[in-house]
Structure 1
Amino acid sequence: MRMRIDAFQPLGRALMLPIAVLPGAGLLLRLGQPDMLDITFIAAAGEAIFSNLGLIFAIGVAVGLARENNGAAGLAGAIAFLVTIEGGKALLAVPPAVTATFADQAARDLATAAWKAKELAKLSVPAGILSGLVSGWLYNRYSGIKLPDYLAFFGGRRFVPIAAGFAGLVGAAVFGIGFPVLETAIDTLSRWVVNAGPVGLFIYGTLNRLLIVTGLHHILNNIAWFFLGDFHGATGDLKRYFAGDPSAGAFMSGFFPVMMFGLPAACLAMYRSALPGRRKAVGGMLLSLALTSLLTGVTEPIEFTFMFLAPLLYAVHALLTGLSMVIMDLLDVRLGFGFSAGLFDYVLNYGLATRPLLLFPVGAVYFGIYYATFRFCILRFDLKTPGREPEIADKPASANAPEDLAAGLVHALGGTGNLRSIDACTTRLRLVLADPAKVDEARLKALGARGVVRPGGNAVQVVLGPIADRVAGEMRALGRGTRESGDDGKARWMAALGGDRNVLEIAIKAGRMRASIADIAAIDPVAMDKAARRGWHEVSPGVVHALD
């Protein structure tokens, strides 16, 4: 049975929202430490974010999954998480050894509370992700629920946090009663990864690159960076690294040679391989992509320039990433990042690193390997990399005119009526379309898209680079404006309200619909629930009010 990859994409997208706070947290934590500015309150501010990642994931994932990223889902996520953790503490069985050395009851109570808090903190991120998933689903399913008149105040979006609280009780039972099983499972997984040594790191690095095409690499990263290992209560490679664990960083170090040296070398190879008359035209773009990878570690705009043109070349890139993970581990190099493996993170976290200077000889070798490999393959197989493709693909997207770009993208994607969902991660638009066949890929590339991905079903992704989130907002605004004034929006409401004969009067403006109805029983409640994404109700006899 073919797996519906697009069903997993909302999770990968939603995980990007809480992950976005990590660069700020890492910056504050490092600047405040003794080897930097030595300012305690700045370090404490960064530690506050790392200590509450579970709550942050609960809120961020819920908002990321909810329709229109509504904040009510975030409140529901927070409630579900708090109920899960505090309820789990009450159900957690305490080993007798924890309190055996204390004679005073007050001391035993303090020891018990401290032990429960420390143990459940190890599972705070998975608890947060699950709380966010459930809360986002509850919002999408029940934000328009109608309750009897005497309970009407608790209907609609207000119902969602209440339902999330009860869902948190189930989570409390899972994490409280099931804690020994969960702890053993994560510990077993961590030991397997550690015992796998270079093989495990190679598989991780290779899969990390291969999964980029689906957007599911974020899920793999979360397992490695936030789940695996334990250092004084800090779990995951990333959290342990910033907590001072000298063994942490194995799942981050190998990205530095690839992102700071390898992919910039690939850009140089593509520039040198461009047709002589077009090098000047593509040089600025390739330089921008190379600097983005070198400085920040954002690589997708580069990778999508050759991912589909030369799948074999991309497979080599993935294997070289896995090999880099192994090489850095064998050399006992430990590097870490709060955002990605770029120069900014390298300099900022230099004081926490182990043998960081070895990055440069390894990076120099990787620069040569990538340049030679890309140069040979481009010329040998006549790959249509930038500067070698038809002229239509040469027009870059303008980061200074997002509204014009957004309008062009909407048109190339089949119009607002074809866009069911518009979201974005770091570098790409993540879309769900009514009819993917309407997408004009040539037009998208003419607008500056570096690649178009079709993961499956009705899902389509458009790689734009760091401007993706801003452009997504402009596209959503264009879509709302069209729905408010267009015939398609009115036709949708008319059909849900029972047709022309049943609608006496209708007004649609600014995401709201108000209609006078001849027969309230003729309304199609299922169609209304779908059309009125933020809820609808009969405000007075024969008058219906709905929020799009």
Structure 2
Amino acid sequence: MGILAYLQRIGRSLMVPVAVLPAAAILLGVGYWIDPVGWGANSRIAAFLIKSGGAIIDNMAILFAIGIAYGMSKDKDGAAALSGLVGFLVITTLLSTDTVALLTSTPKAEVSKAFDKIHQNQFIGILVGIISAEIYNRFSNIELHKAFAFFSGRRLVPIIVSFVMLFVSFGMLYVWPHIYEFLVTFGKEIKGQGAIGAGIYGFFNRLLIPVGLHHALNSVFWFNVAEINDIPNFLAGQNAIDSGKAIVGITGRYQAGFFPIMMFGLPGAALAMYHTAKKGNKDKTASIMLAASFAAFFTGITEPLEFAFMFVAPVLYVIHAILTGISLFIAATLQWISGFAFSAGLLDMLLSSRNPLAVHWYMLILQGVVFFFVYYIVFRFVIVKFNLKTPGREDDVTDTSAEENVPTVGDTSKLAEQYLVIVGGKENLTNIDACITRLRLNVHDSDLVDEQAAKALGAMAVIKLGKTGVQIVVGQQAEKIADKMKKLV
């Protein structure tokens, strides 16, 4: 497996713990609605909800260890998740300030700050999750002598992980302060760029989506990998007095600028693609664009829209990435702040509107309206000027008989059977997985994957990553289709 494919596996598995964040957003959001001033001090119900949501936010590191271990495991077994938990408990106990002081015979006050609250550092959670998953994938099928048969297979993995973490902890005892210092320096450098740094991040966030590496980039800005921790700090409603990290008008700047793009900009691009579609294709284009725009506006899921033009008109996608960077820059500069737990859609905007750190969040709607017209005008001009083959403008008319055989949206079993044929049959598959809207497949030979047949079946895009990696964008049924394919294989 190449380094790119491996990084994609990590990026995909990051979505497992991140999927827990909407629960925290709902609990905290409702709590802030009830008591926006006292944050629980003036209402027992609000305190109950805020503390419940905070329990998730405060323990994101351990959720990363468990979620990544599970997400990267070959068969998504609970033993992998348990191994991640065991590994995390061992390493964070051995690298706690008290233990480090004991092991190094150093006064507690002189122990490196790197070890302070290490159980809340998500980089440690990610590291433990990756190591635990690799150990699980390698040793979960080992059979021991009959006398130790009970500890064979999956039961053996947590034991191995606990011992491996002894050696990892010993190495980290000396290496971690340097890694921590680098991450903090990187975080400070990004923070020091202010609104420009937010804009640069927004540009690369979109640019990395085609290869699925945006999740890895997001973890640096959104979580506590480099001392930025934008999402947890925002959701927790912290301010400078509480933590010394979260600041009103600043915390949330790596999130706020996405709202105008996802809720308004991309729907504007969708309208432009509809208006420039050929007359005979307008009805079909309208149905695709309307559904994708609805998802982007309400939930912030933008891949169905982005993949509609990402590969057929890459110049539009570069423009989209630039405009996203500009949007984050504007929102950060003017301190129009809102945050999210899942994505920058209407639901998250409403939930976070009473958050103490949400500053002039309603102005993001005005900014969004402007971006709607910017996207519409720019996309329409570029499409017509360069005769780009966006949806509805293709030269080749799709065979209607093929369309008649496309399964209905809910018929995931039939879809799974047909996608299995399209990718070269079960003999060509080595791994099946999914991530929100994509089938992520490992194959023996990607040349055997029939791209045109996949698109005729309803796929928005087929991405071939070298000889052994394939991603098929199928929409929000991706996980269901993947599960059905696993059963068939």
- TM more than 0.5: yes
Which of these residues, 172, 186, 191, is aligned with residue 188 of structure 2?
Answer: 191
Equivalent pair of 2:220/2:226 in contact (CA under 8 Å)? no
Instruction: Indicate which of 90, 99, 107 corresponds to 1:91.
Output: 99
Corresponding residue for residue 235 of structure 2: 242
* TM value normalised by structure 1: 0.79
The answer to whether the 8 A contact 2:5-2:465 is kept is yes
Residues 186 and 227 in structure 1, CA contact (< 8 A), matched pair in contact too: no
Alpha-carbon distance in structure 2 between the residues aligned to 1:228 and 1:436: 34
SS at match of 2:301: coil
- The counterpart of 1:151, out of the listed 139, 148, 157, is 148
Partner residue of 2:13? Answer: 14
Equivalent residue letter for 2:305: I
Q: Conserved in 2, the CA contact under 8 Å of 1:91 and 1:176?
A: no
> Offset of 1:93 from its aligned partner?
3.4
Alignment check: 8 A CA contact 2:432 2:442 kept = yes
Give the superposition deviation at 1:4.
3.9
* Structure 2 spans left out of the alignment, 5+ residues: 37-42, 238-245
The whole-number CA distance in structure 2 between the counterparts of 1:297 and 1:216 is 18
Task: Indicate yes or no: 2:451 matched with 1:441.
Answer: yes
- The CA deviation at 1:229 is 6.6
1:256 aligns with 2:259: yes
| Pairwise CA distance, 1:151 | 2.5
Give the Å deviation of 1:291: 0.8
Mapped partners of 1:299, 1:288: distance in 2 = 11
Amino acid at match of 1:188: T
Aligned length: 459
Distance 1:332 1:393, change over 3 A: farther
1:381-410 CA-to-partner distances (Å, cap 9, x unmatched) read: 222222222332884773311111111111
1:408 aligns with 2:418: yes
Pairing of 1:359-438 with structure 2 (within 5 A): 359-389=364-394, 390-392=396-398, 395=403, 398-438=408-448
Q: Quick one: distance in 1 between partners of 2:360 and 2:173?
A: 41
Amino acid at match of 1:133: I
Structure 1 residue aligned with 2:243 = none
| Distance (Å, rounded) in 2 between the aligned partners of 1:393 and 1:347 | 43
SS of the residue 1:388 aligns to: coil
What secondary structure is seen at the aligned counterpart in 1 of 2:390? coil
- In structure 1, runs of 5+ residues without a counterpart are 100-111, 480-548
Note the alpha carbon deviations across 1:104-133, whole angstroms, 9 max, x for none.
xxxxxxxx9xx999522442x111111110
Contact in 1 for aligned 2:143/2:152 (Cα 8 Å): yes
1:440 deviates by: 1.0
* Aligned counterpart for 2:327 among listed residues 324, 329, 352: 324
CA distance in 1, matches of 2:167, 2:399: 52
Question: Is residue 254–residue 328 contact of structure 1 (8 Å, CA) maintained in 2?
Answer: yes
Amino acid paired to 1:376: F
Whether the 8 Å contact between 2:90 and 2:162 is mirrored in structure 1 is yes
The CA distance in 2 between the partners of 1:131 and 1:393, in whole Å, is: 50
Counterpart AA for 1:433:
V
d(CA) in 1 for partners of 2:348 and 2:482? 27
Number of the residue aligned with 1:181: 178
Between stretches 131-140 and 382-391, larger displacement belongs to 382-391
Q: Is the 8 A contact 2:28 2:54 kept in 1?
A: yes
Give 2:461's aligned residue: 451
Deviation (angstroms), 1:430: 0.4
Query: Per the alignment, do residues 219 and 397 of structure 1 end up closer, same or farther by CA in structure 2, a change over 3 Å counting?
Result: farther
**Alpha-carbon distance in structure 2 between the residues aligned to 1:48 and 1:116:** 23
Aligned equivalents of 2:57 and 2:171: distance in 1? 24
Task: Tell whether 2:305 aligns with 1:302.
Answer: yes
Larger CA deviation: 43-52 vs 460-469: 43-52
Structure 1 residue 128 and structure 2 residue 125: aligned?
A: yes
Q: Which has the higher strand share?
A: 1
Aligned-partner Cα distance in 2 for 1:393–1:51: 54
Q: What's the Cα RMSD here?
A: 2.4
Give the drift of 1:190.
1.7
Query: Counterpart of 1:81 in 2: which secondary structure?
Result: helix
Q: Deviations over 1:505-538 (max 9, x none)?
A: xxxxxxxxxxxxxxxxxxxxxxxxxxxxxxxxxx
Amino acid in structure 2 at the alignment position of 1:46: G
Larger radius of gyration: 1
CA contact (8 A) 1:91 1:173 kept: no
Matches of 1:382 and 1:439, distance apart in 2: 29
Whole-angstrom distance in 2 between the partners of 1:422 and 1:445: 19
Q: What secondary structure does 1:354 align onto?
A: coil
RCO higher in 1 or 2 (8 Å CA, sep ≥ 6)? 2
**Match runs of 1:479-518 below 5 Å:** 479=489
> % of aligned pairs identical?
40
Note if contact 1:15-1:218 (Cα within 8 Å) is conserved in structure 2: yes
> Could you list the per-position Cα deviations for residues 398-434 of structure 1 after superposition, in whole angstroms to 9, with x for gaps in the alignment?
3311111111111111111111111000111100111
Equivalent residue letter for 2:381: F
Q: Structure 1 pair 198/393, CA: closer, same or farther in 2 (3 Å)?
A: farther
Matched, 1:25 2:24: yes
Q: CA deviation at 1:216?
A: 0.7
